[in-house]
Amino acid sequence: MNITGKNNPYSDIGKLSHINRCIQCGTCSGSCPLSDKMDHAPRELFALIREGSYEEVLASITPWFCVSCYACMVRCPKEIPVTDLMYAFKEKAREQGTVPKNLNMTDMYDAFSKTVKQFGRVTESFLMGRYGMRHPISAVKNAPLAVKMALRHRLELKPQKIENPDTITRLYELTEKGGE
Amino acid sequence: MTSQNQPKTSIPKIGVYVCHCGMNIAPKVNVEEVAEHVKALPHVVVARDYKFMCSNPGQDMIVNDIKELGLNRVVVASCSPRMHEKTFRNALRKAGLNPYYFQMANVREQASWVTKDSVEATEKAKALVSAAVTRVAFHQPLLTREVKVEKSILVVGGGIAGMQAALTSAQAGYQVYLVEREPSIGGHMAKFDKTFPTLDCAACIMTPKMVDVYQHPNIHLFTYSEIEKVEGFIGNFEVTVKMKPRYVDMTKCTGCGLCMEKCPTKKITSEFNEGLSKRTAIYTPFPQAVPNVPVIDAENCLTLGKGKKCGVCAKFCESTAIDFDQQPEFKTVKTGAVIVATGFKAFDPGSIGYYGYGRYPEVYTSLEFERLNNATGPTAGKLVMKDGRTPQRVAIVHCVGSRDQRHKKYCSRVCCMYSMKFAHLIHEKTGAEVWEFYIDIRSPGKNYEEFYNRVQEEGVKFVRGRVAEITDMTDDPKDRGRLTVVAENSLTRRTLRIPVDMVILSVGMEPSPGAEDLGRLMGVSRDADGWFNELHAKLAPVATPMTGVFLAGCCQGPKDIPDTVAQSMGAAGEAIALLSKGSVTTQAEISNIDEDLCTGCKSCIAVCSYSAIGFDEVRRIAVVNEALCMGCGSCSAACLSSAASVRHFSDKQVMGELEMLL
């Protein structure tokens, strides 16, 4: 199946055609600080796509471990937008409901996103509070650290807001509707 | 040429031949319909279609029709004139017709290959053929002429390519002028230690050639010289060479070297040793330099550059060869052909920040390593790090700057092989562990794959993965001071962090910095990467679109020494083939200035790039020198009184063609 072919049901994944240029040199995987935590190296995802194994890519934990450091993208000799593709894979996985289970970080993504949607910026206590509701054990583990931070005035308990949080909320609504 | 002339007033009798070109034209373009269509045009006597017009039966068809039907004009609708115009013109000549009574319509590249719809393709073919028919009716018989050529060859660049081209040409008895920009010939190859795959010592096979070039009676050597101006045309170029001042009289210098010993300015970075050693202000680039005459680096010389009263070299020179007042000299040579052999420049890896070149002292380029490993190099061939220790582990990084869209998108062809040569030499000299980081091993050449296998057998560790980073951050405290090479082994899918003592960056090639200016002087175009364009990628790899100018070596694209030498001999062979007859046939499509219409305004003289138009002071009109004219048409466009026109491109012919196309 051709990556850019009309009959490819996954051709709407952003910037997918760039993968055609990949020479499998491994610069992306070698540059990736979290490559060892991933089930597939970034390079492998591109090889999987070329053989048509989209389901495997979209169920992979690799994109979710991407920390957007952009080292791969800066170094890729074929100028493949690796980080952008990781976002596109996450988006597609979410859309079709193949986000890997038991990944704590997806709840972190949600907690982060909701906090920003509500206040326009992140307040640690709210972020961790939201995350802790899903992961009570982790919340208990983190509690001593929170206390330490609070004692040193490093933990804001009141929500930090931007001037017009509703502008951010509107932006969210627009993008959720599928706008750019 | 001796073709008979047809009277100018002959009534046109045109034959049209539409070619199927196998399956190239016929299924897309309805060839029968095209032939039928043109039959209705004025003066068309016969219109046929045939499977392969260029074949012998196809050509015979034209010859027979000319003889039997009395045709005096021929149109063939087939491929590009670049492909077969000559073929069909020869057919006309064979039938006793002036070959310029022929016109070709390109219905392959311009119709069948580029049009999706069959009906549209057929319509376009009809228009193209009709245009050719209308044009050919206005054709005039033209004559070509023989022009004497200068039996000499100018070679630009004195590396292995230029030297070989010069030697081959000189051996054939031609006078050769070899122009080299640097103080010595030898080029990059003179810097190398061993050469793959046979591991011959570069100096051992190079220096005898350099001496041959120097001593050959037919080769005139211009070192420390550049091309200043190029005039003329195939067979009769006039090239002005600028000889930069050496400040040393070449006729007096004995090459004793005392001046270099005594020169007080000793701390100048040596270009030849890639910055790894120092040289004096008066210097020869390397001990085996040819000619063995030093030059003074005016910028760094105390007397010339700093205006101080030094003159130590002059005081010690027993043959009074030092001449601080030398000026650039210009010499014009006449030459029949030019061979361009300007070579390459190694890619500068400083722009790839994550490889740390220039930041970490133990990261070397391949050329630096060649010097480091060379018996005449800064360490006399002892393979040591900057602190004097022998490296225990060395990493070689392939594809630095090559196959990289941010730098050079092409493969530089030689890096895999020389990297493996390095691995062998390091292993042999120091016993160090060598790691090769590659994307793909490219070893297509005679005995190249065998060399790869040999290096594998020697225990060199090959890792398939492009190096992502070179850093001085080490994982283990006991490795402090070493470098860490980070790369994914894409075959095991593991990220490796290898502590090493030395890193060699196998840098690619880019065109020589002077290539752009030279290309402009010579009229030779360059591709998007800056390499000179050959006339045809497969069938004319050493010729250029500028007739009489040939290419040798890396100036045309990256290549190794065997390919360079082969191409240089090829270029010399082409140049010799061109000049050996003693004359060349000039084209017939040249400018013609109507004496009655010319007003003597001299507009054409000003625009002519070939200095082909002179002025007759008695008749006060412009006159074309037919030997110099290239038929570019500038004069025709500039002429205010429509006196100047290019033969075979008259207004009638061009307008007639256009009318049918629009």
DSSP assignment string, B184-205? SS-TGGGG-SEETTTTEEHHHH
pLDDT in tens, chain A (180 residues): 678 777 888 888 889 999 999 999 999 999 999 999 999 999 999 999 999 999 999 999 999 999 999 999 999 999 999 999 999 999 999 899 999 988 888 888 889 988 898 888 888 888 988 999 989 998 899 899 999 998 998 888 888 888 888 888 888 888 877 655
- pLDDT score, position A175: 81
Judging by beta carbons within 10 Å of its beta carbon (0-12, 13-18, 19+), is residue A154 exposed, middle or buried? exposed
pLDDT digits (tens, 9 = 90+) for B458-490: 999 999 999 999 999 999 999 999 999 999 999
CA dihedral B337, B342, B343, B344 (to 10 degrees): -150
pLDDT digits (tens, 9 = 90+) for B559-585: 999 999 999 999 999 999 999 999 988
- pLDDT score, position A43: 97
A69 CB neighbours in chain B (<8 A) are none
Q: How far is CA B596 from the centre of its chain?
A: 44
Report the run of H or E that residue A87 belongs to, with start and end: helix A82-96
Q: Residue B404 CB: number of other CB atoms within 10 A? A: 22
Closest chain A residue by Cα to residue B351: A75
Contact A67, A34 (CB under 8 A): yes
Residue with tokens 């704590």: A104
Distance CA A177, CA B303 (A): 77
Distance CA B108, CA B129 (A): 12
Instruction: Check pLDDT > 80 for residue B138.
Output: yes
B411 has a chain A CB within 8 A of its CB:
no
A100 has a chain B CB within 8 A of its CB:
no
Distance CA B439, CA B460 (A): 16
Confidence of residue B5 (pLDDT cuts 50, 70, 90): very low
B469 has a chain A CB within 8 A of its CB:
yes
Distance CA B462, CA B64 (A): 67
Task: Please name which of A139, A31, A45 lies closest in space to residue A76, comparing C-alpha atoms.
Answer: A31
Specify the long-range contacts of residues B380-386, CB closer than 8 Å, at least 24 apart.
B381/B193, B383/B425, B383/B426, B383/B429, B383/B430, B385/B501, B385/B502, B386/B361, B386/B362
Residue with tokens 């030499």: B425
How long, in residues, is chain A? 180
Q: What's the angle, vertex CA B229, arms to CA B512 and CA B149, rounded to 5?
A: 105
B403 has a chain A CB within 8 A of its CB:
yes
Closest chain B residue by Cα to residue A39: B493
Average pLDDT over residues B225-234: 91
CATH code 3.40.50.300 for B344-510: no
CB contact under 8 A, B464 and A26: yes
pLDDT digits (tens, 9 = 90+) for B362-411: 999 999 999 999 999 999 999 999 999 999 999 999 999 999 999 999 99
Contact B12, B136 (CB under 8 A): yes
CB contact under 8 A, B495 and A24: no
CATH code 3.40.50.970 for B152-244+329-343+512-579: no
3-class SS string, B614-648: EEECCCCEEEECCCCCCCCCHHHHHCCCCCEEECC
A30 CB neighbours in chain B (<8 A) are 465-469, 486-488, 495-496
pLDDT-wise least confident of A48-62, B2-16, B427-441, B500-514: B2-16
Delimit the CATH 3.50.50.60 region(s) of chain B.
152-244+329-343+512-579, 344-510
Both tokens assigned to B485: 């090479």
B405 has a chain A CB within 8 A of its CB:
yes
Min Cα distance B437 → chain A (Å) is 10
A28 CB neighbours in chain B (<8 A) are 468
Distance CA A60, CA A39 (A): 7
Scan residues 52-81 of A and list those with Cβ closer than 8 Å to B. Answer: 71, 75, 77-79
Instruction: Check pLDDT > 90 for residue B628.
Output: no
pTM: 0.85
CA dihedral B18, B19, B25, B27 (to 10 degrees): 80
Distance CA B29, CA B8 (A): 35
In the DSSP assignment, the letter for residue A99 is P
Residue with tokens 């910055």: B275
DSSP, collapsed to helix, strand or coil, labels residue B512 as coil
DSSP, collapsed to helix, strand or coil, labels residue B48 as strand
Q: Residue B470 CB: number of other CB atoms within 10 A? A: 24
DSSP, collapsed to helix, strand or coil, labels residue B180 as coil
- pLDDT score, position B629: 85
pLDDT digits (tens, 9 = 90+) for B157-202: 999 999 999 999 999 999 999 999 999 999 999 999 999 999 999 9
Delimit the CATH 3.30.70.20 region(s) of chain B.
591-646
Task: Tell me the backbone φ, ψ of residue B626, rounded to 5 degrees.
Answer: -65, -25
DSSP assignment string, B93-153? HHTTS-TTSEEEEE-IIIIITT-SSHHHHHHHHHHHHHHHHHHHHT-------EEE---EE
DSSP, collapsed to helix, strand or coil, labels residue A43 as helix
CB contact under 8 A, B487 and A26: yes
pLDDT digits (tens, 9 = 90+) for B29-48: 999 999 999 999 999 999 99
- pLDDT score, position B351: 95
Q: How far is CA A94 from the centre of its chain?
A: 10
Judging by beta carbons within 10 Å of its beta carbon (0-12, 13-18, 19+), is residue A5 exposed, middle or buried? exposed
- pLDDT score, position B9: 54
Both tokens assigned to B583: 């004359």
Both tokens assigned to B482: 């070493």
DSSP, collapsed to helix, strand or coil, labels residue B47 as strand
pLDDT digits (tens, 9 = 90+) for B55-98: 999 999 999 999 999 999 999 999 999 889 999 999 999 999 99
Average pLDDT over residues B499-515: 97
CB contact under 8 A, B488 and A23: no
CB contact under 8 A, B406 and A31: no
Distance CA B229, CA B227 (A): 6
Confidence of residue B532 (pLDDT cuts 50, 70, 90): very high
- pLDDT score, position B3: 40
Chain A with chain B: Cβ pairs closer than 8 A: 67
Within B524-582, strands assigned E span 549-551
Work out the widest C-alpha separation in chain B, in whole angstroms: 97
Contact B500, B393 (CB under 8 A): yes
Contact A56, A46 (CB under 8 A): no
Contact A65, A14 (CB under 8 A): no
Both tokens assigned to B272: 């030849």
Query: What is the set of domains in chain A, with CATH numbers?
Result: 16-96 (1.10.1060.10), 104-176 (no CATH)
Both tokens assigned to B211: 């001496």
Using alpha carbons, list the distances in angstroms from residue B661 to B109, B117, B126, B330, B654. 16, 19, 9, 52, 11
Both tokens assigned to B177: 């002028």
Task: Please name which of B223, B213, B107 lies closest in space to residue B164, comparing C-alpha atoms.
Answer: B213
Contact B157, B340 (CB under 8 A): yes
Closest chain B residue by Cα to residue A43: B490
Contact B314, B264 (CB under 8 A): no
B354 CB neighbours in chain A (<8 A) are 75
User: Which among A20, A21, A28, A29 is the top mutation candidate for probing chain B, defined by the most B β-carbons within 10 Å of its own β-carbon?
Assistant: A29
Name the residue type at position B489.
N
Instruction: Check pLDDT > 70 for residue B4.
Output: no
Min Cα distance B462 → chain A (Å) is 14
Residues 6+ apart with CB under 8 A from A43: A22, A24, A25, A26, A28, A29, B488, B490
Delimit the CATH 3.40.50.960 region(s) of chain B.
14-144
User: In the beta sheet, which residues pair with residue B16?
Assistant: B47, B75
Work out the widest C-alpha separation in chain A, in whole angstroms: 59
Top-level class of domain B14-144: alpha beta
User: In the beta sheet, which residues pair with residue B238?
Assistant: B231, B334
Name the percent of chain A in helix, strand, coil, to the closest 5. Answer: 60, 0, 40
User: Which among B398, B407, B463, B488 is the top mutation candidate for probing chain A, defined by the most A β-carbons within 10 Å of its own β-carbon?
Assistant: B488
The CATH label, of 3.20.20.70, 3.40.50.720, 3.60.60.10, 3.30.70.20, for the domain at B591-646 is: 3.30.70.20
DSSP, collapsed to helix, strand or coil, labels residue B177 as strand
